[in-house]
Structures are given as C-alpha cells and as structure tokens.
Amino acid sequence: MKPLSRNIQRELDAKAVADGEEDGKQHTERGVRRPSRLFYVGLLYTVLWALVFFHHFSTSVQSGNNAAAASPTVLQLKPSAFFSASRIFRRDPCAGRYVYMYDLPPRFNADLVRDCRRISGSPDVCKDVANDGFGPPIMGGGEGGSLPERGAYDTDQYMLGMIFHARMRRHECLTADPAAASAVYVPFYAGLDAAMHLDNADLAVRDALSRDLVDWLAQRPEWHAMGGRDHFLVSGRGTWDFLRRPDADGWGNALMTYPAIRNATFLTTEASPWHGHDFAVPFPSHFHPSSDADVAGWQDRMRRAQRGLLWCFAGGPRGGDTGTVRAQIIEQCGRSSRCSLLGKSAVTKPGHYAPGHAMRLLESAQFCMQPRGDGYTRKSTFDSMLAGCIPVFFHPVSAYLQYTWHLPRDYRSYSVFIPAGDVGRNGSIEEVLSKIPSEKVAQMREQVIRLIPTVMYRDPAAKGVTFKDAVDVALERVIHRVAKRRRSAAEGREHVDSVDGGDSWKYDLLEDGQEKIGPHEFDQYLYMHLAGDLVG
C-alpha cells in the first residue's frame, strides 16, 4: 500500500510542475487547480481499504458456547476475506436473529443434571440425561430396524430443557452483546427442578430454586431493559407443573405465577389454553438427524412403508375406567382385525415403551390413536408423525390449540378429529376411518411426512443443514413475538397478543389481518370444564 501511495504522490507532483511550466498564469486566472483523475483513483483506493477494515473490525465474532458468550472475543481475520467483494457487501445472515444466552450459575442447570438420581418417576433417569438429553443411542436401527441406522436415541419426553440448551450453545447466531440480541435465552432446567420436588410436602423447598432464579434475573441489567419481555425459557414438562400459587397447596411449583416470569415467553411441551405467555413445542422423539440427507432419506422410507393396518394404538389401560376414550380405543382395537395394540412385553418402565417396538407398530398403520396421556398431550403424537402415521385426536387441546407454531392451522390436512363424546357413546372409530377416501388418506400421510423436519430435534453438532427443525421454528416465533413487543414499547404501549382467560387460545388461530376475536369451532370444547368434557 505504501509504494502505491508514493507513486501516486510523485505523479501528482510531476503533473503540477508540468502544468505550471505550460501556463504560469493558471492559478491566478482560475484559482486553485482541480485535482487530476489520478487523484480520485487514489482517494477511491483509500476509501475502499477503510471500508474493508471498518467492516471487519466492527463486526463481533459470535460465540457458539457458554464460555465464549461470557468472555471477550478474539478477532481472527483470513487473508481471503480482504479480497472478497461478496463478504464486504453481503447482508449479515444473523441480522434480526441474534440471541443472547445467560451464563447461569450451575445450580440452575448443570448441578441438576449431576443430581439426576433425585429426579422422581424413573429408576433409570440418569441414562436419560446422557448425550445432552438425547439419552442412550439406539444401535442398528433398534428392534426390527424400525429406526435409522444413525441418529436414533432412546429419548425421554422430559429432557427438552437439556436438548434445547445443547442446541443454543452451538447456535450460529449467539451474541455476547445483549443490546444486539433479538431475544434473551434463560437456560434454566425448570423441568428437572420440578421433577425433583413434585412429591415434597414442603412448599418452600419446592419453590426455592424458582424463587432464586427470579431474584437472580431481577438483578440483571438485561432483564431491566424490557422487564423480561424479550426473555424466554424452555421446560421439558407441561405448564401445569408450574402454576401452583405460592401461598396455596396443590401440584407443582410456582415458577410461572411470579410477575417477572409472566413477562417472559415460556416454552413447554403442553401449554394452557388460558394463559398468555406459555406456548407448546413438540415432545422430542427418537430420531435426531445430522444432515439434510438423513431427513430426506427417512421421509422417503416412510413414503414407501407398507402399512397393512388401518389403525393402531401405542398405549395401555389406565385406571380400569371403561368409560374413557382410552378404554374404548383398547376395547374396539382388540375386536378388530385391522387394528393392533402395543403388547405389554414392550414396556420398559411405567408409561415407557421400547422405542423399536413402538416405532415398528406406528410404521405399519395408516392411523395412530392419540387420546390424552398424563396431560392432554402425548409424546406418541410426535413418534407417530415421525413414523408417517396420521394422528387421530379426540380433543382440540391435544394438539390443535397447542402446537400452533409447528403444525398447520388446517388440522384436517394432516390429522383426523373424532370428538371424545362420540367415542364415549360407543361410536365406532374404525367406521369413521374406513369412510375416508384413499386419495384423502394419501394426501394426509404426505402432509405428515412433510412435517417431519419441523417436529424433530436435530443433532446440535450438525453442520450445513438447511431444513428447519423444531428449535428453529420456535426461535423464529419467539423472536417475532419479542419484535412486536419491542415495537409497541417504543410507541409507549404494551403489546398484547394473548390474554388470560377463556379466549387466550384464539390469538394464535386468527387469520392474517384479523384483529377481533369471534366465534370458533372449538368453543364448544373450551367453554366447558375440560375435565368434564374430556372423558379420555
């Protein structure tokens, strides 16, 4: 750069002398002489280099892990970068997508994993936290080769908090600057904490860590910037485990009742239709792919699957109540030659089936029954979709009012809805399914197969993938929600896209441009007490 600058200066000086010799009166007649064309070339050269250095030294390298997010960034420049016009002028791919992740004290996450033996509900739970929450790998495709040769795990439904955190640690748009973030992630393993204390009669102990988190957040400047309205949390359990009032007895802890947390966005595997800040995301299933090819290959395999059964049910009886939808499904399936149930031999622990056995059944049927599980939703819904099996629901809260970010608004495009009351009156499930034209069945199955990427959780270490998985979809919607709240705050008002009360579930079902809430086809199910209306 220096030699070129000296050459330019010498030429400018020589030109000036030559011009002076030719016309000594030039300066007095025309004033200061205009710079030559060569001068402008030199000026443009200097400005170009200034832009290059400004671009690289003003761009922070975004960290993909916890430690880097909390420590200064070392800038590394590659020589090729200085000579690529596309790198200088291209749009930042993370613009509007940056996420700031707290480096929480380990008591809020890592220590809970180390104390896995304290988690209730599973004698083998410590194996469930392996591989960042994916659980033990399933080798060789599992029982009957019903799962992929690679990327298959025995994943427990409650490990979503860990799975999400593992993805965020490697997220390509993490930033160490909270002011540049479009959303702020709080990696608190709320589900593991709740599971450790569900049976504890001491309410203060149940609420201790949640209250500690609220106190910790309240001291952070990032929280004060928007009062937590740009923050989000993820739990591997349903909303119902976090709604106990601090001063009342009952189930679960009080995390979601604290005013500070109510400002944030809370992602759970089952949301409430009557709360405005919790949103449901899919349960994790058993396939966590590492590439686009893995996903495309699995989808093709599900398209070719031979489905000799009309319908099936992967689940067992509960409570012996013959009036429940579940009991009716088991009774009707047992009498049909076109239906199959998952045998007791496949049970590995209460409420848990060997993944290979379950997937083999789901892949062999056209329709998979989805009555309520421990709550209104079931992990089996997403196991079935992974298997290319069309889910059959018996209440809108089981899916349609839950996974509005991940599943189509037109529920008829990928599923069948049979009202629970019809089954309770001894309506024939098989008769309903048999009447669906084969062309419609093929269309629904294809839609289910197309949805597979958006309801699975990919390997967090995967590189170069282009498909959007459940985490990508959830992050987009969280960031969109925060952006609306930020715009409203700039205008001096509070943005309300959900409310507490009977109509809160409708906000995510409004058509584009629709602002007023009106009657909905699901009103008849939501305006009645769910426990009385939902007999499954």
* Both tokens assigned to 356: 């290979």
**Of residues 73 and 53, more confidently modeled:** 53
Domain extent listing, the chain? 99-283+468-501, 292-454
* φ and ψ of 130, to 5 deg: -65, 155
Q: What is the DSSP letter of 284?
A: P
Average pLDDT over all residues of the chain: 83
Q: What gap in Å lies between CA 167 and CA 162, rounded to an integer?
A: 9
Strands 231-234 and 365-370, by their bridges, are unpaired
Q: What is the pLDDT of residues 89-115, one digit of tens each?
A: 578 999 999 999 999 999 999 999 999
Name which of 144-148, 340-344, 487-491 the model is least confident about.
340-344
pLDDT value of residue 1: 44
Whether residue 247 contacts residue 235, with contact meaning beta carbons closer than 8 Å, is answered with no
**Homologous superfamily of 292-454 in CATH?**
Glycogen Phosphorylase B; (3.40.50.2000)
pLDDT value of residue 57: 43
pLDDT value of residue 363: 96
Q: What gap in Å lies between CA 237 and CA 121, rounded to an integer?
A: 13
Q: Rounded to the nearest 10 degrees, what angle do helices 160-169 and 190-197 cross at?
A: 150
Query: Between the ranges 19-28, 304-313, 490-499, where is the mean pLDDT highest?
Result: 304-313
Q: What is the pLDDT of residues 227-267, one digit of tens each?
A: 999 999 999 999 999 999 988 888 999 999 998 888 999 99
